[in-house]
Amino acid sequence: MTSLASISSWFTTNQVLIENILIFVLLAFSVQVALRTGIFSLAGIGFYAIGSYTAALLVKDGWPAVLAVFAALALTAIIGYLLAVLLVRLRDLYLAMATFAFDLMVGVVALNWTGLTGGALGVNLIPVSVSLLGLILITIGVMVLLTLMENGTLGRTLSAVREDEQLALSFAVDTRRYRRFAFVISSMLGCLAGAMHALIFNVIQAQDAGFNLIVLALTMVILGGFGSWVGAALGAFLLTWIPIRLTSVGVWWPVYYGGATVLVATFAPGGLIGLARRGLRGTLGLWNRRIGLQPVGSAQPPAHPPPAREIP
């Protein structure tokens, strides 16, 4: 019982930090799902804003929180689908740019549609209607769904769409459909993060989802590694936790993390999680060699290469 009590008191003292981390984890998932399918989309941040406004305004109108979140998700799914159809021709940096513009356009609309969004003042006094436990359960649920999405036929298909669209097409994979699917999922995850932020911290500011949030979310995903949701979660955790916990790094902290971003982006394309995996594989390989096992998938080349076939 004492350990249970100490755990709950630890949760109470760190509540805001944990809530922040989990919301960023959800947002990072939004970017990661898109990147993993080869879609360089940052639209999740625009949907973060749409989700937070929709959920907050509905709850303030007296809707129950669950319904409000579902309504926000449905709305973003529709907008996300339309956006995916519109942007179907764009790839890579051009897609990134278009979604960037979409995010900032959402911000401009939020700032100027004063009647609905409260303009620069934002939305205040939103009833707090999601508990920490609820947020934790939602995050775990999303993690389970993402695990399912990364494995099996669906996971391999999405990887194929990322690696080589033409090849995937020739294997009868409707790449446009899968790209739309990933885009909509990414939009909904962004919306979920925004809705959670609004319903937990009970205030929205028009400049919440701006340039800085886009850059932060992208950095989290790249630092952690976009190959799997674990990397995105790690990146979100590190970039939220370190600046709060290590106050000693102080005002110069962004210099270190900017430098780390440069190094990881340049030398570790798989992100920190990729580095960790490689390190783990390295140590395992060392251990295997010590006990005389061949590591899987590293068959030695034959000592004598087969003679070259004669060309008739």
Partner 1 sequence: MALQQLVNAIVFGSVLTLFALGLSLAWGTLDVLNLAHGSLFVFAGFLAYEFSSHVHMAFVFLVLSCMIATGLAAAVMELVAFRHVRLRFASKRQAEMSMMVASIGFSTMLDTIVGNQTQDTSFGPAATAYTVSRTTIGSVTITNIDVVIVVVTVIVAVALDQWVRRSRTGRAVRSIAFDPATSSLLGINVNGLAALTMFVAGALAGLAGVLLAVYVGAEDTTTGQAYLLTAFAILIVGGVGSVRGAIAAAFFISIAETAVVAYGPSNWSNGVAFLLILLVLLIRPAGLFARTRFQRT
Which DSSP symbol is given to 123? B
**According to CB under 8 A, which one of 77, 104, 138, 203 is a site residue for partner 1?**
104
**Using the rule CB under 8 A, is 96 a contact of partner 1?**
yes
**Using the rule CB under 8 A, is 100 a contact of partner 1?**
yes
**According to CB under 8 A, which one of 78, 93, 244, 280 is a site residue for partner 1?**
93
**According to CB under 8 A, which one of 71, 77, 109, 203 is a site residue for partner 1?**
109
Query: HEC string of 90-157?
Result: CCHHHHHHHHHHHHHHHHHHHHHCHHHHCHHHCECCCCCCCCHHHHHHHHHHHHHHHHHHHCHHHHHH
**Using the rule CB under 8 A, is 182 a contact of partner 1?**
no
Closer CB to partner 1, 50 or 96, in the complex: 96
**Using the rule CB under 8 A, is 278 a contact of partner 1?**
no
On the 0-12 / 13-18 / 19+ scale of CB atoms within 10 A, 159 is: middle
Q: Name the phi and psi angles at 123, rounded to 5.
A: -110, 130
Q: Which of residues 116-175 bind partner 1 (CB under 8 A)?
A: 166
> Per residue in 178-210, is it b (16+ CB within 10 Å) or e — as a string?
bbbbbbbbbbbbbbbbbbbbbbbbbebbbebbb
**According to CB under 8 A, which one of 257, 277, 285, 295 is a site residue for partner 1?**
257
Count of chain residues binding partner 1 (CB under 8 A): 44
Closer CB to partner 1, 139 or 261, in the complex: 261
Q: Which residue has the tokens 């907008």?
A: 79
Q: Give contact residues for partner 1 (rule: CB under 8 A).
A: 35, 38, 40, 86-87, 89-94, 96-98, 100-102, 104-105, 108-109, 111-112, 166, 211, 215, 218-219, 222, 251-252, 254-255, 257-263, 265-267, 269
